[in-house]
Amino acid sequence: MNRAPVAAALAPAALALGDDALVLSHRLGEWAGHAPVLEEEVALANIALDLLGQARILLSLVGDEDELAYLREERTFRNLQLVEQPNGDFAQTIARQLYFSTYQELLYGQLASGDGAFAPLAAKAVKEVAYHRDHAEHWTLRLGDGTDESHGRMQRGCDALWRFTGEMFQPVEGVDADWQKLEDDWRESVGTVLGRATLTVPDGPRSGAWAAGAGRQGLHTEPFGRMLAEMQHLHRSHPGATW
């Protein structure tokens, strides 16, 4: 992967996709030592690592990865509000992962088949993301079609995050994708999985989060600032230090 800074026109796109991966990776990292079963310690860390790897490549296209991760403030992060949502219970984490991984797989699939600047990166990442989606899909099925309690929790997780899904299909400057197709494919894919999991596709608004301010524009939800405070604290406490 060529890590020389991309043309300025592509920087907003690299930042948006990179921030998505960085922030979700951080949230998944919070699970370490708390997972419901040891296999999930491994799986969640694995997904977090893949995402962190993607984030590092994307941010490096824009500038210094650590400066971008540790020295920007909340209003200049471009990630989706979905990925900054707190982990909640395992069902909520899985719902977030299903929504996002499906989006990422479809988006990177489109980018990989094109000839844009992100095609090589997308071609590599789409393999990782397909695994993430598969993992989320299997857990959606197990939780949705498991016990009454898991069914209820999974449905609540899906419902609670639904309002953050509309934002995913707002075109990102510099990302050459068919956004309408992306949205249609996403609805079909997620709808099928939820159906097989005996869950109901939420029918609440998907644009509420957008109207309230979109992550892509640097408008975030309250938990995000606290997450950044924790993430950036040490780096910011030692200006100019090498780690």
What CA–CA distance (Å, rounded) separates 96 from 89? 11
What CA–CA distance (Å, rounded) separates 173 from 163? 22
The residue from 11, 12, 30, 170 that contacts another protein (CB under 8 A) is: 30
146 exposure class (CB count in 10 Å sphere: 0-12, 13-18, 19+): middle
Upper half-sphere CA count for residue 10 (Cβ side, 13 Å): 17
The residue from 72, 131, 150, 218 that contacts another protein (CB under 8 A) is: 150
Residues 166 and 173 sit within 8 Å (Cβ to Cβ): no
Of 19, 7, 5, the C-alpha closest to 224 is 19
CB nearer another protein, residue 47 or residue 80:
47
Residues 29 and 87 sit within 8 Å (Cβ to Cβ): no
CB nearer another protein, residue 145 or residue 176:
145
Nearest approach in angstroms of CB 216 to another protein is: 22
192 binds another protein (CB under 8 A): no
CA dihedral angle for residue 95, residue 222, residue 34, residue 88, rounded to 10 degrees: -40
Span interacting with another protein, options 116-124, 147-155, 163-171, 176-184, rule CB under 8 A: 147-155
225 binds another protein (CB under 8 A): no
**What single letter denotes the amino acid at residue 219?**
L
The residue from 46, 87, 189, 221 that contacts another protein (CB under 8 A) is: 46
74 binds another protein (CB under 8 A): no
Span interacting with another protein, options 2-10, 112-120, 143-151, 210-218, rule CB under 8 A: 143-151
33 binds another protein (CB under 8 A): yes
Q: How many residues bind another protein (CB under 8 A)?
A: 49
Structural tokens at position 68: 């971008």
Structural tokens at position 158: 């899906």
Q: Contact residues for another protein (CB under 8 A)?
A: 22, 26, 29-30, 32-42, 45-46, 48-49, 52-53, 55-56, 59, 65-66, 69-70, 89-90, 141-143, 145-147, 149-150, 153, 230-231, 233-235, 238, 240-243
